[in-house]
Amino acid sequence: MKALTVSRMAAARLRANKKAYLSLLIGIFLSVFLVTTLVLCIQGVILGQMERNNKRLGYEDAFLLDTPELTDGDLAEMGYFDTIGHVYVSAGIQDTNIYLGWYDETGADLLGRQVLEGRLPEKAGEIAMERSAMLAIREDGQWQLGEEVTLKVIPVDGVEEERTFTLVGYLAEQSNALTNPNNTYAVYVTGFPALLVSPSEPAFASGRVAFHRLMTLTVPISEELFRTFYNRIEDHVLGRFQVKTISGNLIDSYYSEYVFGLNSDAFVIAIMAGILILALLLSCCVGIAGSMEGILSGRSEEIGILRALGATKRQIRRMFGRESWLLALTAAPFSIALSCLFVWGLALWMPENMIFKFNPLLVIPVIVLSAAVILISGSIPLRRASRQMPMSVIRDTGLLRKSKHIRSRKQFRVPALISKRLVRLYPTRLLGAVILSALMCFCAAMLSIVLFQGISGFVPSQEAYSIMMQGNGSARGYVSYLPGQPLSDQSLNQLRSLPHVRKVNVNRQLRVCVLLDHKTSYFNAGHYHNDALMTLEEYTEYARSLGDTADLETIRQRYAGEQASYDAARNALGISQELVMTELQTVTPEKLELLEQSLGSGKIDLDAINAGQEVLVVAPQIWWVSESGTQGFRLIDDPSEAEREKAAMTVVNDWAFAGQELPIVQLYTDDPQAGTDEDGKSLYESCTRRDALVTIGAVLDSRPYSLSGMWGAVLTTEEGLRNMGLFRNGWDTITIYLDGIVDEETEKTLTQSVTAIARRAERFQVYNYMESARENARTQLQLMLLMGAITIVFFAVAAGMIVSAVTRQLQSDGKRIGMLRAVGAEEKTILRCYSGQVFICLTLGMVLSVLVMAALFTSSILNVPARYYPGGIAAILFFTVCCMALCAFLLRRRVRQVTRGSIIDNIREL
């Protein structure tokens, strides 16, 4: 005869009570499945998006646009980069932003150029091209592979010539994605080639070969690393150094704070994903503990008898604990395997957006955590059950202690009284359901944020075209170049009326000067750095912070030179005040209202702004520059922070105050060659000058991300600009969004129309992002479907757990139901007794989750942006309502199951 071990007893009990243990088994199975699936899905989507971004932008971490003054050795010496590849650009196509070039081996590996049809060029005379480039070059149809293609090209810094190639392949779109539309400087240099030729292609008769460098970083990018190395490189190559972020955005110096904004969003999402997983684990804990409690409460007499027979607490815990372990050992491997299979299937279905990777480092913690969850959650009710005295379990004397709080009713509605009494007398029994409901509501809110916001963060709404001026504002000194033929309002209206165009965004930025009574270095961290506005001490300190080791006399001479040229400009313009360059931006009245949240002092008076009497100025009160001398200024709320952060330089707003008068000077020319071959004086005399005197209505203390202006920028409306009397020269950038994804034929027609309108203006180029938009739409659809699948799995598991938590009483309440039926209670009355409890549990859970969410979101650790709140609350409400409906449905079924048997069966169940 086999020895009677605890495991054998547990296995025998499991066999004998299959039905009772089924909910616990399902709970363990679903818990492990849900957590594993979620972890694998999040990992898969992140890996998928990184891979997608890599395919779109290449595997490099950063690149440096045409900078011959720096050698590869200089870059390697910095110690930040371990691989450097090259992209060579030999020519461009006239009146387009399309370039011709080739890669070296490392460059080709990093960019990973994909061929859609045909092959890459292998010998001289062969060419492969992006389809959007072909559409832009040839308006009357598509070239076939193998066809001779004759192109009129302009070599870089050279003279136009014609060359014939054989078309051997069509390439996946990449060159436009590598052009950072936010980087105004990038338009000065050549872009990335959309037309690819062989490295053995003979040189053109004139011009030079420009080259861009692609680099991989030795360590992952961090804010500190970015600030450190960026400043060292950027000092030499302003605007030409680009860094690729995890979300696939390109960043440059001017928008460096933007990427940290993005990163902080990603940080919030990562934290929330972590909290979600922890909350799910906790929910699983509560779910399993609840199932265990249900089983134990149904077997409390058995425990009492075992205790009466002399079983120790430890023995009781071992006997019942072994049961849950056996269940876990049965369920966990299957659920992990099923979860891997599920995510693997998802990854097969959407290979572009999700990568399945069985990462033991990720799965082992899930197994350990699941084991811990089962151990902890099973042990809590076991400890409680085994602690009770034998007769108190048998006689249920626990109720006696609570009975003093009970007030006997003289009249009552039976379902309401029984619901309330059960909640009152068995708070712990329902506490599990309340906590579970709160956790699940909270998880629903987190999931909505992580998935919806995460997806929108990963896949931004992609414009179809953008029209930008080449060399915007490229005049010398304080004078801007404004083309004679700008993009007019009429052109804008025509663009808006094109078929499929949903939205056309416009941007107007003017370079202007403000006249101040004193010098200020406030602007020097911004776009328009001007050393002449510093004192000699500040100039020297700044030079030292950049690692300049020149002696003091040399620095003094350099400073004097800066001052002399600055004074010459002022004299030529007849200006006695300090001349500070900044930019003037127009915003819509709607956007102006949104700026209220950034208000530092004064007030936003739309009428005064529209009348051209007042402007807004973006001028936070205190900024500091880090010790490393980076130009990434940061607002500090607490002045002592500057000391803590070891700020090398603190900049205080000493020039813009609400109510102060602000003279504005606009200097411009429509001659692109002005100032290039003559001295500054004649340029200042020949340019057009317009003056405006306005009052600063309000000073903004921060710059919302929706606004691309710099600190020191002056803001007004279109109407205000007109009334100020400054020159409005068309639009600088136009971004076109379509109402959906169009087919290739429609794209061709649209591209032709957009190009024709853009060519009416001088020096404007069209950037075609249609392929990216198409890809983004596909991605968004797939991710939405994935999100739907995850949400359904989550909802099914969560609702199942809650329903099980609130309905498991029914299993052990057969006797009570029998009693009620015996005295004449109908099925609907019994149903109401339980649905009342469900309502109480879910409502309490919902309120609790909203409170937790509010506390967590507003905490200083997370500080979740307010735009996430409505989605979270909507998710909680939706989840609760769905749960209530599902619970009502399932309760009715379960009550019917119980009442289907005879009353005597119910009463005798125990």
Partner 1 sequence: MEIMHCENLSKIYQTGEASVFALDDVSLSLASGSFTAITGPSGSGKSTLLHLLGGLDKPTKGTVYYRENDLYKYNDNQLSVLRRRRFGFVFQSYNLVKELTGYENILLPVMLDSRQPDEAYLNRIIDLLGIRDRMSHLPSAMSGGQQQRFCIARALANKPAILFADEPTGNLDGKAGREVLTLLRTVSHELGITLVLVTHDLHVAEQADRVIKLEDGKIAGDSGVTV
Among 315, 829, 869, 877, binds partner 1 (CB under 8 A): 829
Yes or no: say if 70 and 169 are a contact pair by the CB < 8 Å rule.
no
CB nearer partner 1, residue 413 or residue 496: 413
CB nearer partner 1, residue 664 or residue 825: 825
> Least distance to partner 1 from the beta carbon of 888, Å?
19
User: Taking CB under 8 A as the rule, which mask of x and - marks residues 14-33 in contact with partner 1?
Assistant: --------------------
Partnered with residue 250 across adjacent β-strands are 244
Task: Please give the residues from 648 up to 707 whose contact with partner 1 meets the rule CB under 8 A.
Answer: none
Q: What angle do CA 845, 850, 854 make, to 5 degrees?
A: 150
> Least distance to partner 1 from the beta carbon of 808, Å?
17
Interaction of residue 818 with partner 1, rule CB under 8 A: yes
> Least distance to partner 1 from the beta carbon of 417, Å?
7
Region label for 238, one of left (φ > 0), alpha (ψ between -120 and 50) or beta (otherwise): beta
Largest Cα–Cα separation, the chain: 113
Among 250, 820, 840, 864, binds partner 1 (CB under 8 A): 820
Query: What own/partner pairs with CB < 8 Å and gap ≥ 24 does 536-540 have?
Result: 538/649
Main-chain dihedrals φ then ψ at residue 90, nearest 5 degrees = -105, -20
> Least distance to partner 1 from the beta carbon of 396, Å?
6
Q: Which helix (H) or strand (E) holds 667?
A: strand 661-669
Residue 599, token pair as written in the block: 């208000």
Tell me the residue length of the chain.
910
> Least distance to partner 1 from the beta carbon of 824, Å?
2
> Least distance to partner 1 from the beta carbon of 365, Å?
44
Main-chain dihedrals φ then ψ at residue 84, nearest 5 degrees = -130, 120
Indicate the SS3 state at residue 479. Answer: coil
> Least distance to partner 1 from the beta carbon of 425, Å?
5
CA distances to 4, 5, 256 from 1, in Å: 9, 12, 77
- By CB under 8 A, the count of residues binding partner 1 is 39
CA distances to 100, 190, 206, 325, 765 from 156, in Å: 10, 8, 8, 72, 17
Interaction of residue 396 with partner 1, rule CB under 8 A: yes
Residue 510, token pair as written in the block: 């003017």
Half-sphere exposure of residue 793: CA atoms within 13 angstroms, side-chain side: 22
Interaction of residue 904 with partner 1, rule CB under 8 A: yes
> Least distance to partner 1 from the beta carbon of 893, Å?
16
Among 826, 863, 881, 885, binds partner 1 (CB under 8 A): 826
Task: Return the range that interacts with partner 1 (CB under 8 A); candidates 62-70, 397-405, 612-620, 736-744.
Answer: 397-405
Among 56, 240, 511, 821, binds partner 1 (CB under 8 A): 821
Partnered with residue 764 across adjacent β-strands are 469
CB nearer partner 1, residue 314 or residue 815: 815
* 878 Cβ neighbours under 8 A, 6+ residues apart: 444
Interaction of residue 893 with partner 1, rule CB under 8 A: no
Task: Please give the residues from 603 up to 622 whose contact with partner 1 meets the rule CB under 8 A.
Answer: none
Among 78, 189, 819, 856, binds partner 1 (CB under 8 A): 819
Task: Please give the residues from 404 up to 433 whose contact with partner 1 meets the rule CB under 8 A.
Answer: 406-414, 417-418, 421-422, 425
Alpha helices (runs of H) in 223-255, residue ranges in sequence order: 223-234
Residue 295, token pair as written in the block: 């089983």
The packing angle between helices 256-298 and 313-349, to 10°, is 140
Interaction of residue 823 with partner 1, rule CB under 8 A: yes
CB nearer partner 1, residue 408 or residue 706: 408
> Least distance to partner 1 from the beta carbon of 51, Å?
59
Task: Please give the residues from 109 up to 138 whose contact with partner 1 meets the rule CB under 8 A.
Answer: none
> Least distance to partner 1 from the beta carbon of 811, Å?
17
Yes or no: say if 786 and 803 are a contact pair by the CB < 8 Å rule.
no
CB nearer partner 1, residue 407 or residue 644: 407
CB nearer partner 1, residue 401 or residue 518: 401
Determine how many CB atoms are found less than 10 A away from the CB of residue 74: 12
Q: Which of 506, 517, 515, 524 is nearest to 562 (CA)?
A: 524
Yes or no: say if 703 and 709 are a contact pair by the CB < 8 Å rule.
yes
Task: Return the range that interacts with partner 1 (CB under 8 A); candidates 66-74, 114-122, 824-832, 879-887.
Answer: 824-832
> Least distance to partner 1 from the beta carbon of 296, Å?
18
Binding site for partner 1 (CB under 8 A): 395-397, 399-400, 403, 406-414, 417-418, 421-422, 425, 815-816, 818-827, 829, 899, 902-905, 907
